[in-house]
Structure formats: structure tokens, C-alpha cells
């Protein structure tokens, strides 16, 4: 189990390309962050910083899924 956690942390910290885009929903702006190398791994938030923080958590869950 210890090696699985270490491997997860290693892959979560890799320098993935990260993109943040602004969009609107019902006139309210929000930000979408994603890593193109991890297909379907994305997160959103009301600010770019929150979208990136949410993406870090989403990336961890995305990578841990097969474990």
C-alpha cells in the first residue's frame, strides 16, 4: 500500500501542461482548468486559483482510479 501512495504522489506532481479558460454560465463567469495529457481530467472554480486547486484534487482522483 505504501508504494501505491508514493507512486500516486509521484504521478500527481509530474509537470503536466495546464490550461485555464474563462467561460460564463447564466451570465456568471467561472474558470475551467484541465490537463490535456489526462483525457477528461478537469475542474472548475469561481477564480483561476480555485480552479487550479480543484484540478490538483481531480488529478489525484483521476490517477488513483485504476489503483
- Residue 8's CATH number: 3.30.160.250
Q: Which domain holds residue 13?
A: 2-64
**Total domains present in the chain:** 1
How much of the chain is helix, strand and coil, in % rounded to 5? 40, 25, 30
pLDDT digits (tens, 9 = 90+) for 9-36: 888 889 999 999 999 988 889 999 999 9
pTM of this structure: 0.81
Residue 15: the pLDDT is: 94
Contact (CB, 8 A) for 34 and 53 = no
Phi, psi of 50 (to 5 degrees): -70, -35
Q: How many helices (H) and strands (E) does the chain have?
A: 2, 3
Cα distance between residue 8 and residue 60, in whole Å? 7
Residue 2: the pLDDT is: 61
Amino acid at each position: 500500500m505504501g508504494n501505491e501512495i508514493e507512486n500516486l504522489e509521484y504521478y500527481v506532481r509530474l509537470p503536466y501542461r495546464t490550461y485555464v479558460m474563462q467561460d460564463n454560465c447564466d451570465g456568471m463567469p467561472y474558470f475551467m482548468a484541465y490537463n490535456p495529457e489526462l483525457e477528461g481530467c478537469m475542474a472548475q472554480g469561481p477564480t483561476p486559483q480555485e480552479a487550479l486547486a480543484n484540478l490538483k484534487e481531480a488529478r489525484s482522483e483521476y490517477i488513483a482510479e485504476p489503483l
